[in-house]
A and B are shown apart, each in its own frame.
Chain A
Amino acid sequence: GAVVSQHPSWVICKSGTSVKIECRSLDFQATTMFWYRQFPKQSLMLMATSNEGSKATYEQGVEKDKFLINHASLTLSTLTVTSAHPEDSSFYICSVAGNSPLHFGNGTRLTVT
């Protein structure tokens, strides 16, 4: 399966600032990547599907203007949490599609103070 790298592994930011999380596919050309969010002791919830060279597809209830996704190359997708608030504190995980089974990055722990 695809090797997926996320950066940073953890980040702390102040309320109102923006944070960018990177997801890299190291050994697979990824036209599609997925972004998930996981709150403590809960399951993974799909936020959006990142499509290389086109707009991301967001799941119902996920604000596209708040969670900006850019997928400009076949190896990199970025998720920017804009104007972060404490309720955005969560574990963000990406995965690479097209190389079954789906493999995941090691996640980014975001804490908004």
Chain B
Amino acid sequence: GESVGLHLPTLSVQEGDNSIINCAYSNSASDYFIWYKQESGKGPQFIIDIRSNMDKRQGQRVTVLLNKTVKHLSLQIAATQPGDSAVYFCAENPLTDKLIFGTGTRLQVFP
């Protein structure tokens, strides 16, 4: 079946460094992608999204890159802070509002 997967289950970075979280998706029909942050015991929190007609989108300290050729999505976090520690999920939307989530990457930020 269709799936969205991540390359790294855990990413450890030092505070102040940049973080890059990767995601591979398999459904070429997906036209909308979202990154979510999930802290322990909470629901997913929207970070940033991108549509397939774009290859880059920037937010506050975050950038999402989309490479449709290789079906790859990445989330870049600049100047990573301890508060960024969480599990990050990419999600794709091949159908109306029905999201398929990736396996998740745990980001650990060390002082």
- Segment of A62-70, A74-82, A99-107 engaged in the interface with chain B: A99-107
> In angstroms, how far is the closest chain A Cβ from the Cβ of B42?
5
Interface size on A, residues (CB 8 A): 23
Of the listed stretches B13-21, B43-51, B57-65, B76-84, chain A binds: B43-51
Known: A101-B34, A102-B34. A44 touches B44 (CB 8 A): yes
A32 near B43 with CB under 8 A, answer no
Secondary structure call for the B interface: strand
Contact of B98 among A1, A42, A46, A107 (CB under 8 A): A46
Separation of A94 and B104 alpha carbons in the complex (Å) = 18
Interface residues of B in 1-58 (CB under 8 A from A): 32, 34, 36, 41-46, 49
User: Smallest CB–CB gap between A9 and chain B, Å?
Assistant: 8
Q: Any chain A CB within 8 A of the CB of B74?
A: no
Known contacts A1-B46, A43-B89, A102-B34; A107/B97 CB under 8 A? no
Whole-angstrom CA separation of A109 from B46 in the bound complex: 20
Give the residues from 87 to 105 in chain B that come closer than 8 angstroms, CB to CB, to chain A: 89, 91, 96-104
Footprint of B on A, CB under 8 Å? 1, 4, 6, 32, 34, 42-46, 49, 93, 97-98, 100-107, 109
Cα distance, A43 to B104, chains bound together (Å): 6
Given the complex of chains A and B, what is the CA–CA distance between A44 and B92 in angstroms?
A: 12
Known: A44-B101, A97-B97. A109 touches B43 (CB 8 A): no
**A98 contact from B32, B36, B97, B104, Cβ within 8 A:** B97
